[in-house]
Chains A and B, each alone.
Chain A
Amino acid sequence: MSASQSSSFARRAAWAFVALVLAVAAVLPPFYLSGYWVRVITSLLMYGALASAINIMVGFAGYPALGNIAFFGVGAYTVAVLMVKYNVDFFVALLAAGVLAGLYAALLGRAVLRLRGAYFGIATIGINHATSEIVTNLDSLTGGGRGTIVPFYPGGIQEERMFFYFLMLGLMLLAVGTTWLISRSRLGYGLRALKADQEGASVMGVNTTRFKVIAWTVSAGLTGLVGGAYAYWLSFLEPPYVFDITMGVKTYIMAILGGAGTVVGPVLGAFTLELLSELIWGRFLEAHMLVLGIVVVLVVLFIPQGFMSLFAQLAATLKRRRTGEVRADG
């Protein structure tokens, strides 16, 4: 009893230590690193947030929302239009971006979420294209194909760097925190159940229609927020920049790579892939996509369950070893 208490205390202390190290590691970079690296890490954080957001659909509900990047575009253009045309404050515009993207998914959800598997994935790609077309054609509002200039961040270069670094960090933490809450709630259990079997979940009392729509709304809302932040960061928008299906597929791969359905896996996947992509980009300017593709294939072949499964296996082995020792002692 006291042994298990002290070991649980030790574990808690260890976690607190890890959390402290992570917190320090998260806060320090913009103060010490060069502008280049701050920008790279800011984009890691952004992809961490996007991968977490798509994970809610892919990992929990089991819906391959490849075209989720449409909500990124919606968020980006919401911020752009509100700031340019209506002089709205950035944070208000950002909030609107999240809400609008979420509503958009909620509206589409009832119809589109009837499709399953690849059909759903393809439909979301179609939604991305269609939305991009709409934005392009709303010329007077969005600047259409010519693009639009979003107001610059009012402040010095160093200050601007900090702002976007902490903005993306905050959004990523929001996405991970939301995922964590979902994973422990009835919503999370319901989603995992319907991922395995919709009929089985529905006769267990899970309102599968509502759960799927909620999941997509949350996923889209988070994606829209990140898109809104991106618009302000980039400060020049064209539809192809933000309705970029390659980017959507990338976040999907990141989520799978890290561990679909886990809380922090997608962030690990995002950091790894984006960092790798950055390094490879520098070394193999020409064959960059090829090298990246090979890396992805290798990882998926050898760790199909994602990075988090490696940790789970490790933990299981350690535990087995430890309980084995306890038995030997007694």
Chain B
Amino acid sequence: MAEQRPAERPPLLVGRGVTRYFGGVAAVQDVDFEVRAGEVLGLIGPNGAGKTTLMNLISGLLPLSRGDLIFNGRSIKGLSPWDIARLGIARTFQIVKPFTGMTLRENVAMGAMFARDGKGVSAREALEVAGEVLEMVGLGHRMNAYTDELNIAMRKRLELARALALNPRLLLLDEVMAGLNLREVERLMELVRSINARGVTIIVIEHVMKAIMGISDRIVVLHYGKKIAEGTPQQVAQDERVITAYLGRRFGQGKGA
């Protein structure tokens, strides 16, 4: 605990007035936020609040309608998803996107092949790295299986392994714990903590309150595309607007005064 507190570290990603319209409707509107190097930032809000859209904007899958995103001191606005990936931003998908027709090992090797700073390695080397990453997420024993042989918990882990193989500086996790049982959630929380402990900055979207409160250093709350609150898990849990919009009385008061 003697180390520098995340709050004092420089920001790794800054969003300024981040906005995205679909037709006339703003899915994300004028959101300002900062992710500090080394922290775990939780992103919560009701269904349709714009959480996934914000991740799509950061990873370059959607263009910004307005605003700017600055990663490591440089604007990433208008960059392609692959450029952004190579700058060191990796992500998982809420609806998993396994590469069917490839083994788990090949799936994960993709990350190492096209890794950060264009330092991707050859296919053969990448397959070795992939083995190690799969061990780390607990899929080492299924290395040569194909993705359609996996249950949902394993698929979520595969998403995570693939993103990790990119050796990212910033990791975006979109509901990796959804649909998992309590034991699996706890194991995954442990894994996320250990990844963070290696120096990877993380933005995590989760509806599982126990998980998000347990692993986040700070939390940003979205509601109808706007940021309605921000702070430590305790602060957010006590925030009136958050309680009305999302958490509800029971959880809010349970954690609060």
Question: How far does the Cβ of A8 sit from chain B's closest Cβ, in whole Å?
Answer: 17
Interface string of A202-240 (1 = CB under 8 A from B): 111111110000000000000000000000000000000
Bound together, the chains give a CA A199 to CA B81 distance in angstroms of 8
Chain B contacts of A202 at CB under 8 A? 60-61, 80-82, 85
Bound together, the chains give a CA A209 to CA B80 distance in angstroms of 10
Bound together, the chains give a CA A84 to CA B120 distance in angstroms of 48
Interface string of A149-188 (1 = CB under 8 A from B): 0000000000000000000000000000000000011101
Q: Name A192's contact: one of B98, B101, B115 (CB within 8 Å).
A: B101
**SS of A interface (majority):** helix
Chain B contacts of A193 at CB under 8 A? 99, 102, 110
By the criterion CB–CB under 8 Å, are B100 and A205 in contact? no
By the criterion CB–CB under 8 Å, are B59 and A204 in contact? no
By the criterion CB–CB under 8 Å, are A206 and B82 in contact? yes
Q: Name B122's contact: one of A186, A190, A205, A207 (CB within 8 Å).
A: A186
Residue B71 CB within 8 A of the other chain: no
Chain A contacts of B120 at CB under 8 A? 186, 205
Residue A117 CB within 8 A of the other chain: no
By the criterion CB–CB under 8 Å, are A201 and B101 in contact? no
* Nearest CB in chain B to that of A59: its residue: B101
Bound together, the chains give a CA A186 to CA B93 distance in angstroms of 23
Interface residues of A toward B: which range?
20 to 34
Residue A293 CB within 8 A of the other chain: no
Interface string of B55-96 (1 = CB under 8 A from A): 000011100000000000000000011101110001101000
Question: How far does the Cβ of A150 sit from chain B's closest Cβ, in whole Å?
Answer: 42
Known: A200-B93, A203-B90. A186 touches B114 (CB 8 A): yes
By the criterion CB–CB under 8 Å, are A189 and B111 in contact? no
Q: Name B114's contact: one of A185, A188, A205 (CB within 8 Å).
A: A205
Chain A contacts of B82 at CB under 8 A? 202-208
Bound together, the chains give a CA A207 to CA B86 distance in angstroms of 10
* Nearest CB in chain A to that of B115: its residue: A205
Residue B113 CB within 8 A of the other chain: yes
Bound together, the chains give a CA A1 to CA B61 distance in angstroms of 49
By the criterion CB–CB under 8 Å, are A203 and B110 in contact? no
Residue A27 CB within 8 A of the other chain: no
Question: How far does the Cβ of B173 sit from chain A's closest Cβ, in whole Å?
Answer: 13
By the criterion CB–CB under 8 Å, are A203 and B59 in contact? yes
Q: A residues within 8 Å of B by Cβ?
A: 184-186, 188-190, 192-193, 195-197, 199-209, 261
Given contacts A205-B110, A207-B82, 5 further A-B contacts (CB under 8 A): A186-B114, A189-B123, A192-B101, A202-B80, A204-B111
The contact sample of 14 A-B pairs, CB cut-off 8 A, is: A184-B124, A189-B110, A189-B123, A189-B126, A192-B99, A197-B99, A199-B61, A202-B85, A203-B61, A204-B85, A205-B82, A205-B86, A207-B80, A207-B82
